[in-house]
Amino acid sequence: MIRFDNVSKTYPKQNRPALRDVSLEIERGEFIFLVGSSGSGKSTFLRLLLREERASHGAVHVLGKDLAKLSNWKLPQMRRQVGTIFQDFRLLPNKTVGQNVAFALEVIGKPRGQIRKTVPEVLELVGLGGKEDRMPGELSGGEQQRVAIARAFVNRPMLLIADEPTGNLDPQTSVGIMKLLDRINRTGTTVVMATHDQQIVDQMRKRVMELEKGRLVRDQSRGVYGYQH
């Protein structure tokens, strides 16, 4: 599903690499927590997965493709199989909940009939049934994140990348979001989630990878948050 072979990433005009000689393999259907302090390379790791950045050294394979060899015009096809959610939700404030989810289908040219059928289904799945016509601003943070998850999941991606999805939410709401992500994981979607939320990592007991100054220092199945302990 995902394989890193001796991957390093150095940003232009910076001496210290953001990622240093990282090798790892993630199987289909796994749930990964990516932990580490700020600046440890988590974001760079996720950006490499999406090919927002290219590795300086080594090879990144995602969904069986070598991203270095993936041409620019095939990149959108690959991104359709990867869902992404963020700490700040990234919803369009002037579109309704339903339109926000539909937008993801419209811009990849899905027929309208299919959009009208799929959007309520996926909103039901994330627990927002009937809130289709609400504006994002009227919703709570947890609900907004559910809209973002619905948008990320509407194409039934093979891989879901989550960059601190609970970072802006209170613990109780976070638990709800994690349950949702867990459910999505059980449908077979691989989830890679960068997080600072110790409680969640310790509770879920999934595979944990820890980055420190760009190096992969721990890769532990059924792991705990670990550092600062």
Partner 1 sequence: MRAQFVLSEIGVGLRRNLTMTFAVIVSVALSLGLFGASLLMSDQVDKMKGYWYDKVNVSIFFCNKNDAGSGTHCAKGAATEQQKNDIKAELNRLPLVQSVQYESSDAAYKHYKEQFGDTPVAGLVTPDQLPESFRVKLKDPTKFAVIKSAFSERPGVQEVQDQRGTVEPLFNLLDGMRIAALCVMMLMLVVALLLIVNTVRVSAFSRRRETGIMRLVGASSFYIQMPFIMEAAIAGLIGAVFACVLIVGGKYALINNWLAKKIQVVNFIGWDSVASVLPLVLLIGLLMPAIAAFFALRKYLKV
The residue among 90 and 117 lying less far from partner 1, judged by its C-beta, is 90
Rounded CA gap, 135 and 131, in Å?
9
User: Quick check: 112 binds partner 1 (CB under 8 A)?
Assistant: yes
User: Quick check: 183 binds partner 1 (CB under 8 A)?
Assistant: no
- Cβ atoms within 10 A of the Cβ of 63, count? 17
User: Quick check: 229 binds partner 1 (CB under 8 A)?
Assistant: no
User: Quick check: 224 binds partner 1 (CB under 8 A)?
Assistant: no
Q: What is the DSSP string of the chain?
A: -EEEEEEEE--TT-SS-SEEEEEEEE-TT-EEEEE--TTSSHHHHHHHHTTSS--SEEEEEETTEETTT--TTTHHHHHTTEEEEETT----TTS-HHHHHHHHHHTTT--HHHHHHHHHHHHHHTT-TT-TTS-GGGS-HHHHHHHHHHHHHTT--SEEEEESTTTTS-HHHHHHHHHHHHHHHHTT-EEEEE---HHHHHHH--EEEEEETTEEEEEETT----TT-
Please pick, from the candidates 107, 113, 130, 229, the single residue that binds partner 1 as defined by CB under 8 A.
107
CB of 181 to partner 1, least distance (A): 17
Interface pattern 200-219 for partner 1 (x via CB under 8 A): --------------------
Q: Hey, which residues between 6 and 45 contact partner 1 (CB under 8 A)?
A: none
CB of 160 to partner 1, least distance (A): 12
| β pairing state of 2-9 and 159-163 | unpaired
State which amino acid sits at residue 2.
I
Q: Which region among 14-22, 63-71, 77-85, 129-137 touches partner 1 (by CB under 8 A)?
A: 77-85
CB of 27 to partner 1, least distance (A): 23
Please pick, from the candidates 72, 172, 221, 228, the single residue that binds partner 1 as defined by CB under 8 A.
72
Q: Which region among 3-11, 76-84, 125-133, 217-225 touches partner 1 (by CB under 8 A)?
A: 76-84
User: Quick check: 90 binds partner 1 (CB under 8 A)?
Assistant: yes
CB of 227 to partner 1, least distance (A): 30
Please pick, from the candidates 23, 64, 92, 114, the single residue that binds partner 1 as defined by CB under 8 A.
92
Give me the phi and psi of 6, to 5 degrees please: 45, 50
Q: Give the interface with partner 1 as residue ranges (CB under 8 A).
A: 50, 72-73, 76-82, 84, 90, 92, 103-104, 106-109, 112, 151-152, 155
